[in-house]
Amino acid sequence: SFLQTALSHNNLSPTHLNIYFLSILFSVYPKTRIIIKIKSVKRMNKLTLGINKQKAKIMSKMGRLDISNDEQYDELYARYQHKKKNTQDTIKQFKQVSENLHALSLSISQLVQGIANTYENSDPIHPHIEQMSRALEQFDENYVQLFQKEVQFNCVDNVTNYIAELEAPKQMLLQRDKAKIEYDEKSTQMKKLMESKKPNAAQKMPLAREKLQHAESLYNTTRHQAKKQMADLINAHGRHMDPVLVSMNRSVASLAGGMNNTLGQYDSIAETIEGSPLKRQQVTVEAEESSSVGEMQNFGSESHDGSGGHTPFGGSSGTSTTAALQRTSYPSHSSMGSAPPPPPTSREIPPEFNSEWYYLDENLEQKGPYDFHDMRRMFQSLTINDSTHVFGGEMSDWQEIAEVVGLKMALS
């Protein structure tokens, strides 16, 4: 009832509106403490605008509908918001494509390396696997990274600039909304005065008419400027987005060409492997020499003497154990004293790499020294890789493994 009475007055100030708005909140949430802190004039303006909007909604529910509807403005505003939202979504989609493409290239590279790890280092398949790895590296460097740079420079940057321009009318739209609410309010007051039968209604008409004209002028000005700004941005859409579309098509076409080139290299490698089967040294297991187990079993057969006893070597108790020992073959003293055959040697180390080596780990801490056999084991177990910085041999400075001529091949 208090709110109904307050809205019936002709002159409503922002202070009254604050009181009415708070009264609504307290009626809905009686146990809620509401603290409104006004830190700046800008914050106060926003609060007043929010209260005015709330007041307009209340007036609409009470039968005081907007009398300043503008269908052209509503249509422009809908189109403007549509372009703004979808342009912002485009930025996210561009970034997602770049990230997914890099992840795909990295996943294929890891897959090839995983298959390579199933082969031994001496397997003749390794040159083909190295060709596959080089083809992927070239694809990532020449096409994937180039695609990402072109998308960022020609697409993302242009779209970002357009989004910045789309934010420009924000303040003007707020001013138009505020002017519209004020104009609707003054129009309602004027209509009530014209319908009023109070004696002083005629005296208030000139002042009310003046306020209405001022509100109408302000509303028309802000509405026109807001519509013009939105129309300009809608018309500028093609100027910003057409180059983005052209650049994206060219980047995708270049990426597709690079992908076809890489697939052609892979197909050629597959044909090479199928056309000329790899000659691998077969692993064989030699048959074991016959042992003296059978002979020992003969020694172990029971041999009874006159008293029914038997000896540990199967001879009779009256037989000397020397004969049994003589029947068992033992290696001669000369064969026992000779050195065992040398173990099989690993792949030879190039002379220029046969020295102590050091490397830098992920935290750039120096590790070492290691001999070349240790470096080879760490490379094959992926403790170090192509991009690891190493120092050793005839090197004068730290370098990545891939940059040292012949080092990667020697470690593989």
Exposure on the CB side of residue 380, measured as CA atoms within 13 A? 17
| Predicted local confidence at residue 360, as pLDDT | 93
Which residue is it, tokens 């076409």? Answer: 253
Long-range contacts: 208-212, Cβ < 8 Å, 24+? 208/10, 211/186, 212/183, 212/186, 212/187
| Predicted local confidence at residue 347, as pLDDT | 65
Query: Which token pair is 260?
Result: 């076809």
Could you tell me which residue, 63 or 237, shows the higher pLDDT?
237
Using a pLDDT cut of 90, give the percent of the chain over it: 11
Q: What is the dihedral sign for C-alpha 54, 60, 64, 68?
A: positive
Q: Which residues pair with 224 in a beta bridge?
A: none
Residues 45-71, mean pLDDT to the nearest whole number: 58
Alpha-helix residue ranges (DSSP H) falling in 8-70: 14-28, 41-61
pLDDT 10s digits, 323-381: 433 443 434 433 344 454 444 344 678 888 888 999 999 888 899 999 998 989 899 88
Angle at which helices 71-117 and 201-235 cross, to 10°: 40
Residues 259-280, mean pLDDT to the nearest whole number: 80
**Predicted confidence band at 254 (pLDDT cuts at 50, 70, 90)?**
confident
Chain centroid to Cα 188, Å, comes to 56
